[in-house]
Each structure stands twice: as C-alpha cells, then as structure tokens.
Structure 1
Amino acid sequence: MRIGFIGIGAMGNPMAKNLIDAGFDVTVWNRSGEKCQPLVAAGARQADSPAECATADVLITMLADDAALDAVLREHDLIGAMAAKTVHVNMATVSTATAVELAQRHASAGKAYVAAPVLGRPDLAAAAKLNIVAAGPADAIEQARPALGRIGAKVWPCGDEPVRANAIKLATNTMLVSAVESMAEATAMTAAHGIEPGDFLEIITSSIFSCPAYLGYAPAMEKRDYDNPQGFKLRLGAKDIDLALTAAHAGNVPMPMSATARERLAEAMAAGDGDKDLSVLAETARRRANV
C-alpha cells in the first residue's frame, strides 16, 4: 500500500515512522522540509510538493490547525491532485465547521474523505498506541484501515459523516483539560493543608482516578517539570477548547465547565506557560492559592 503523509510534526513524525517500519511505501512532505530527513533515512521518499503525496492509496494529513490544512489544500490543489481511488484521511484536530466543509469539498470533487483524529500524546504515537476515531464512508475507512492499524491501538468507527469524529475529539479534549485542571486545584488545596503533592497524587492515581487522563499528568505535577517535549502543549489545549465552545454555541449547547477551564488556560498563557505541558496548570493553581 502506498501512503502519502503530509505534516511531520510532534505527532506526525512518529506516526509516519510507524508506517515506514511496517513496510508501507511512504512519501512524506512538510513545509519545513528538513523535518522529513529522519524519515527519509528510515526509508521514506520526500516529495517536492504535497501533490506528489496525493496520488497514493491513502493520503494522510496531520497539520497543526484549520488554517494550515486549508493553506495546503488550496495552494496545492490537493483535492484535485488526488487520484480517483485515493482516500484522504485527515487525522488532525479541526473545527466542526471545517470538518463539514472538507466533506463537502471532497464530495463535490468525487473524492473520498475520512476524518480520523487521534486520542493520545506523542509518546503514545511513537508506541502506536493511539486511539483513532474515524468517520466517513465505510468503504473508505476500510481502505485506510491497514494503515490506521499500524498507527494506533484501536480504530473507533463512528458513522459516515466525518464531522462526528471531530466532534468526539473536541469533546474529549475539553474533558481532558477539565480533568487536569481539577487535579491541579485539588493538589493545591491539599498542599495548603501540609500534604505533599506527590503523596496526594499517588493516592488518587492509585485508587479512584487510576486512568490515563490523570496518570499521564500526575508525574509532571509532582516533579514540577513541565517541559516535556512528548507532552500536550497548553496552548493547543486552549485552541481545542475554543473550537469545542464554538461548536457548542452553534448548537445552543451550554458548556460552563469548559468555559471556566478555558479561563484557567488563559491565565496560564498570560504567565508565559503556553508552550509548556498541560500539567503546568498545577503551577497556576499553586500561584492562585499561594502554596
């Protein structure tokens, strides 16, 4: 199977590497071309333009946001460059409005489109343990499944409308940010009563909150080490909550907890913590509580 992969960032790099290691014929492209070199050394071919990736059996895009994806699609006429039987799998987190537009643009051109955002951080991407939420035509998902199966631990089909996958991803990230914020606040509260953060975090993550959302962020909170290159940058969490709130408002769905969590992220970014791991919310809570 031939795979075209566009977007070699913190997530895209290990995802593409897993495809190469699995023996797929992988062609890669990134706006900053030097980021492709480690993948070329591993066996990929570097394309001169995104259009060269578009004629593969499966075209995967993993770009930073709506604007980056739209720029590549328009500047390089990526949909037009797709072969008749190519399936475009967009694995990035985008807005629900963009999700609907992308599905319409592909349908108008007679091309197959699947939304398949991932649940997990770069460390899980490297281990091929991502969860992939896929929505789109069933036959298109099946065509892409061999590749998706090498990227993640499980594929979760969720219907034939691509926007459903993006709604699930945004909803999941709002829950994640709220979970990390609640853990940060609880850690600050117990610290005010003389309890070491590590002791409190060990109790909760070894008992009723023994799940990835808490286990993944507790170690950084305990060590007060928030510069994890494999982490989830706080500013990206803010971007995702903004997208989720916009989607919610479009459907008159109130999300007061998410709105409050977004304010905490704004507070952290104002303190210069936007490029740190999401667990840095613990420092925001400590500053607020003066502990």
Structure 2
Amino acid sequence: MAKIAFLGMGAMGSRMARTLLDAGHDLVVWNRTPERCDPLIEAGATGAETPRDAAAAAEFTISMLRDTDVSREVWCDPDTGAFAGLPESSVAIESSTITPEGAAELGEFARERGLTFLEAPVSGTLPQAENGALVYFLGGEAETAKRVHDVLEPLAKAQHHVGTWGMGARMKLATNAMLGVQVAAWAEIIPMLERGGMDIDLALEALSSTPIWTPNAPYITGTMQRSDFTPQFPVDLISKDFRYAIAEGGEARMPMTEAAKRLFARASEAGHGDENMTGVVQVNRD
C-alpha cells in the first residue's frame, strides 16, 4: 500500500479519497475548508494544513479541484503549494478538469523542479467514484502512467494513456462536451413529447429500441422524467467545461457545443446552476 496525499474534498474528491482509504492506502487529506476533511479523518486519514504539508511525505499526490485557476494555486503557490513540498521521488497526479494549456503548464512547472507529473482527469460522476468505475485519461510519460496504475486501480474501470501533458485534458473536454450536447438534446425532446400529450414511459420504451439510445440515455431521460435534479454533475460545472472546450476548439467550429453552452447558461441564470446537469430541461418546460 502507498502513502497518498489527496487535495480537494468536493463531491468527487471526497468519494475518491474514501475509496483509496478503503483500499488500505495511508491517506493524507487537505481541503481549503478544513471541516470537509473531517469524515475522512474520522475514518482513518490524516489531515494537513496546506497542500505543501499534505504532499511532504507522500509517494503520490492527487488533486481533484474545481478549475484551472484553483489547480494552479494549489500546486504552484511558492509557500503553500503541493509542488513546494513534493519529494523528488514522488508523483504529482492532477485529476481535475482543467484546460490543456493548464495541464501542460503544470507539467513544465514540475519538470523545471525535477518533479514527476501526470495528468489524470476522469470520466464518471459520484456513483463511479464510489464504486471504482472511473475512466482515466492519462497524459504524461508512459512510464509514469505505468507507475501509477496500481495506485489508481481501486478507482478505475479503465486507464488510457492518451499522450503527453494536455492530451488527457483534451480527452476529458471532448467527453464532457459530447455528454453536454446529448443532455441538451434530450432537454428539447422530452418537453416536446410532453407538450404533445405523449405517455413518456411508452415514448422512452419505444425510443430505447432504436439505434439512437445510448448507454447514458436511461440516466439522462430518467432524471428528467422524474424531475430528480440531485447534483451529481452540476449545471455550473459542465458550463465551465463547455467554456474550456470551445476555447480549445474555436466557437465557429463547435456550433452545437456553443448552442448547448447557451442553454446551460440560461439554466444557471434561472437559478438551476447548483442542480444536476439534467436540470437544464426545466428551461424548456417553462
């Protein structure tokens, strides 16, 4: 078992950290709001006051943070950042959804200091984090990807080494943009069927027998039909990912993603930003 530092106790990070703790790893945890670490500490983890302190004795340091700016601060702050405390023999693993440029910057920052860095964003939400079913997109040296394999194994359904720094972020943005476009499409179709007086159960049963029915369609349509918008992937977070993806691909070349981004922005403006991404259907029901 390894000594692992985990930075970020949000909805995803806390569940990932708990999975690693349950797998028997020696875990050190940090969060900007310290009380978010309390459940992990009560379960056997050790708390740290700063990212630097958390990383100081760890073999692997993993972060799961909100965005590029927060990630840069947590890793690179000269006084409290994780890179300032990271031992040369350890590996820094960035699992946050950040921009490709941000991932490459972190990699170069680490290399200049003789440190080893791997980006490892994930596809999956809360149930996958709890049940070890995340899909990893690994960006960095192939040898580093092999080195972290066993550490990430309790969390992973699959681990894909997709290239150098920045490539993992591109894969994650591609995944989330495709997901968001699908959610936006269903957010139009479900209200259209409802307004037409359709029995939605019958309509979805019929649609499920056609080639357009994707593996995530039962989840998307089911939460929309039940109006169950308990956050797993909130509207505001996927909106951030749309912005990153469009900045990467170009607004003129991603018209469907841009249209989906506008729908999600409308949902945020209507007060649904903290709700699950499927809550965007409410905009078209109004």
TM-score for the superposition, normalised by structure 1: 0.92
Cross-structure match for 2:261: 262
1:48 is paired with a residue whose SS is coil
Checking the alignment, whether the CA contact within 8 Å between 1:221 and 1:282 is kept in structure 2 is yes
User: Paired residue for 2:133, among 129, 136, 139?
Assistant: 129
User: Paired residue for 2:200, among 197, 201, 219?
Assistant: 197
Instruction: Provide the C-alpha distance between the structure 2 equivalents of 1:197 and 1:278, rounded to a whole number of angstroms.
Output: 20
Residue-by-residue CA offset, 1:144-203 (whole Å, 9 max, x unaligned): 1112111121111112x1200000101111110100111121112222221133332343
Checking the alignment, whether the CA contact within 8 Å between 1:179 and 1:213 is kept in structure 2 is no
Checking the alignment, whether the CA contact within 8 Å between 2:100 and 2:165 is kept in structure 1 is no
* 212-221 or 9-18: bigger deviation: 212-221
Structure 2 vs 1, CA of residues 205 and 38 (structure 1 numbering), >3 Å: closer, same or farther?
A: farther
1:53 is paired with a residue whose SS is helix
1:215 equivalent in alignment to 2:218: yes
Cross-structure match for 2:49: 48
Pairwise mapping of residues 104-253 of structure 1 onto structure 2 (< 5 A)?
104-159=108-163, 161-205=164-208, 207-226=210-229, 228-229=230-231, 231-249=232-250
Q: How far does residue 80 in structure 1 lie from its aligned partner after superposition?
A: 2.8
Q: How far does residue 212 in structure 1 lie from its aligned partner after superposition?
A: 3.6
RMSD: 1.6
Q: How far does residue 213 in structure 1 lie from its aligned partner after superposition?
A: 2.8
Tell me the amino acid that sits aligned with residue 166 of structure 1.
A
Cross-structure match for 2:27: 26
Q: Give the fraction of aligned pairs with identical amino acids, expressed as a percent.
A: 30
Q: How far does residue 66 in structure 1 lie from its aligned partner after superposition?
A: 1.2
2:96 is paired with a residue whose SS is coil
Instruction: Provide the C-alpha distance between the structure 2 equivalents of 1:213 and 1:261, rounded to a whole number of angstroms.
Output: 17
Tell me the amino acid that sits aligned with residue 3 of structure 2.
R
Checking the alignment, whether the CA contact within 8 Å between 2:72 and 2:106 is kept in structure 1 is no
Q: How far does residue 238 in structure 1 lie from its aligned partner after superposition?
A: 0.6
Checking the alignment, whether the CA contact within 8 Å between 1:180 and 1:213 is kept in structure 2 is no
1:278 equivalent in alignment to 2:280: no
Cross-structure match for 1:60: 62
Residue-by-residue CA offset, 1:107-158 (whole Å, 9 max, x unaligned): 1111111111010111111111111111111221122111211112111111
Instruction: Provide the C-alpha distance between the structure 2 equivalents of 1:17 and 1:272, rounded to a whole number of angstroms.
Output: 31
Cross-structure match for 1:69: 71
Checking the alignment, whether the CA contact within 8 Å between 1:6 and 1:30 is kept in structure 2 is yes
Structure 2 vs 1, CA of residues 137 and 25 (structure 1 numbering), >3 Å: closer, same or farther?
A: same
Q: Which runs of 5+ in 2 are unaligned?
A: none
Tell me the amino acid that sits aligned with residue 7 of structure 2.
I
Instruction: Provide the C-alpha distance between the structure 1 equivalents of 2:201 and 2:225, rounded to a whole number of angstroms.
Output: 5
TM-score for the superposition, normalised by structure 2: 0.94
Instruction: Provide the C-alpha distance between the structure 1 equivalents of 2:202 and 2:156, rounded to a whole number of angstroms.
Output: 33
Q: Which runs of 5+ in 1 are unaligned?
A: none
Tell me the amino acid that sits aligned with residue 34 of structure 1.
E
